[in-house]
Structure 1
Amino acid sequence: MIKLQTPTEKIGGVPLTNHMLLAAGVLGTTAASLSRMLRLGAGGVITKSIGPEPKDGHHGPSLIPVSGGILNAMGLPNPSQEFTGEIAPLLAENAPVVISIFGGTPAEFAKVAGWFPDAPAFELNLSCPHAEGYGAAIGANPRVVRECTEAVKAFGKPVWVKLTPNVADIGVIGRAAEEGGADAIVAINTVKAMRISTGMRRPVLGNKFGGLSGTAVFPIAVRAVYDLYEACTIPVIGCGGISTADNVLEMMMAGAAAVEIGSAVYDNINVFADIAEDLYAPNGIPAGELVGCAHD
């Protein structure tokens, strides 16, 4: 298998210790859990998405394991501005932490970003498929994506924009983020999905509808990364169903400069270290030689 060198330059404006980040929404609600994932081998971490007002999220069941992945409808639960105190110690250590934020308008995105003056970077959640008025509900509109990106980029920090796969042309949305000043695009968030209990004759999720993550969505994510690499000039961060070193290499060949890993953590808390053992070697090749090679 191909072996890589660890990154020597910033990716999307963020200095990562390897090419793998903890995805938003997974063990991202406390500084302690984020620090733990960094110690366990993550090259960077994304926080839980923080919004303009505290939210309890959808009532349960909100997370159900299914064949090939996880079905969830969390509803963006978050402590809002109170999170600033929680994350402050980790930010003071200059750790590679990206603050995930959401809002319903560009002004709300700017409001939340303003709470984190020490954030190394922001990831804009314009892709959650099960939160009314947020995420994919506004992230399918190129104009809104561009304006939200511009609003947060005004703070002078690196801005990553996380996109939904639930659109006709993800390249159009990616270009809108790039036009708004994004430093990187993250693809993808979960895919719209649901399951119904035949015994109870009702949806298994409390919210009825949710988003599917895990290995089942990996081919969808690869296609999205491939399309975005063709459509945009800024780095693409691959996300969706990654659980092995070979998955990371495939994402890079499609065009990803780095990847985010989420669902695989549920099965293996040491997934970052395990992948790194297979992925890196002192005599490995620079990742730049691999990124996008499937387009040649």
Structure 2
Amino acid sequence: MPNVDMSVTLAGMTMKNPICVASGTYGFGREYGQFYDLSELGGICAKGLTLHRREGNPAPRIAETPMGILNSVGLQNPGVDAFIAEELPFLRQYDVKVIANISGNTPEEYGIMCEKLSEAGVDMIEVNISCPNVKAGGLAYGTRPELAAEVTQVAKAHAGKVPVMVKLSPNVTDITEIARAVEDGGADAVSLINTLRGMRIDVNTHRPILKMNTGGMSGPAVLPVAVRMVWEVSQAVKIPILGMGGVSRGEDAAQLMLAGATAVAVGTAMFADPFAPLKVRDELSHIAAKQGLERVAQLTGGVKPW
């Protein structure tokens, strides 16, 4: 391996390398842990948690697309208490930062989960604001700046000393507006992008392929959108960014870092290759070494726009 310092610091959380695995693509690490030591990763964004257990949406809930997939899994998870009791002790066996991802229908639910997870000792809390706010008529928190700021403030008020990272939705007119709102609300970092809304239709049955009609699109096809949005957000806020969306190679990760990301998450690529995060890490290291960098962190924000 090249002699490059791969460590990065994201909102006060130091990781041995900038590669995380994206929430919803890695479960709680048990399955992937059969392939390699989870300590090889910089961080694990655990599967999205809700206050209570959820069974998720009816099948079919995953469909392939050119250069990606659509999913409408519906946040199937065991609930935050089960995660703390059963999954967190497993993850704590490894030298890896544990990032808990949470979703709620009311600000109060976010607050309760932040309190529980803070006391349990996770390294960071990732707040998913793509969820519908039942009090606002089902409008997603991430689509309105005032709603995004409100849930961020509640999360911060209940997270204690644990840093709060807000996951931004790309399904908005101006993502920088939401980024500024959560920064003003006290967010320590932002992660982006979440999935893009998409749809596929069976031309023979005339039915949508997904039972919920639409779903979130991820995979290599969304990388250029992610790079553009990370670049825009990095110029709009001062807090650090965890970049994600379509990363399957070291070059992809380098693009997101050059655009302004401090660290990068790998997601859909792991469905084709469980070792994708480690390959991305090693390829990124070689890119940094070839460019004569002592630290991979020197890539962050290095883009030179025309």
Same fold (TM over 0.5): yes
Cross-structure match for 1:122: 125
Which residue, out of 181, 186, 206, partners 1:181? 186
Alpha-carbon deviation of 1:184? 1.0
Task: Give the distance between the partners of 1:64 and 1:33, measured in 2 at CA.
Answer: 21
Cα deviations across residues 110-160 of structure 1 (Å, max 9, x unaligned)?
A: 1112222111110001126xx685997121121121121122222221111
Secondary structure of 1:123's aligned partner: strand
Letter in 2 for 1:206: K
Alpha-carbon deviation of 1:3? 8.8
Letter in 2 for 1:141: R
| 8 Å CA contact retained: 2:105, 2:133 | no
Cross-structure match for 1:98: 99
Task: Give the distance between the partners of 1:92 and 1:18, measured in 2 at CA.
Answer: 18
Q: Which runs of 5+ in 1 are unaligned?
A: none
Secondary structure of 1:259's aligned partner: strand
Cross-structure match for 2:216: 211
Letter in 2 for 1:122: I
Q: Which runs of 5+ in 2 are unaligned?
A: none
Alpha-carbon deviation of 1:285? 3.0
Cross-structure match for 2:282: 277
Cross-structure match for 2:37: 39
Describe the shift of the 1:95–1:191 C-alpha distance in structure 2 as closer, same or farther (beyond 3 A). same
Describe the shift of the 1:256–1:4 C-alpha distance in structure 2 as closer, same or farther (beyond 3 A). farther
- Give the alignment's TM-score, normalised by structure 1: 0.90
Cross-structure match for 2:265: 260
Task: Give the distance between the partners of 1:221 and 1:73, measured in 2 at CA.
Answer: 20
Cross-structure match for 1:65: 64
Is 1:108 equivalent to 2:109 in the alignment?
Answer: yes
| 8 Å CA contact retained: 1:127, 1:136 | no
Letter in 1 for 2:30: A
Task: Give the distance between the partners of 1:236 and 1:6, measured in 2 at CA.
Answer: 17
| 8 Å CA contact retained: 1:69, 1:215 | yes
Task: Give the distance between the partners of 1:132 and 1:68, measured in 2 at CA.
Answer: 32
Letter in 1 for 2:174: D
Describe the shift of the 1:109–1:295 C-alpha distance in structure 2 as closer, same or farther (beyond 3 A). farther
Aligned length: 291
| 8 Å CA contact retained: 2:152, 2:182 | yes
Is 1:56 equivalent to 2:61 in the alignment?
Answer: no
| 8 Å CA contact retained: 1:170, 1:228 | yes
Cα deviations across residues 200-256 of structure 1 (Å, max 9, x unaligned)?
A: 110000111101000111111011101100100011111100000111111111111
| 8 Å CA contact retained: 1:136, 1:164 | no
% identical equivalent positions: 34
Secondary structure of 1:111's aligned partner: helix
Secondary structure of 2:264's aligned partner: strand
- Give the alignment's TM-score, normalised by structure 2: 0.88
Letter in 2 for 1:39: D
Which residue, out of 226, 233, 242, partners 2:231? 226
Secondary structure of 1:100's aligned partner: strand
| 8 Å CA contact retained: 1:101, 1:109 | yes
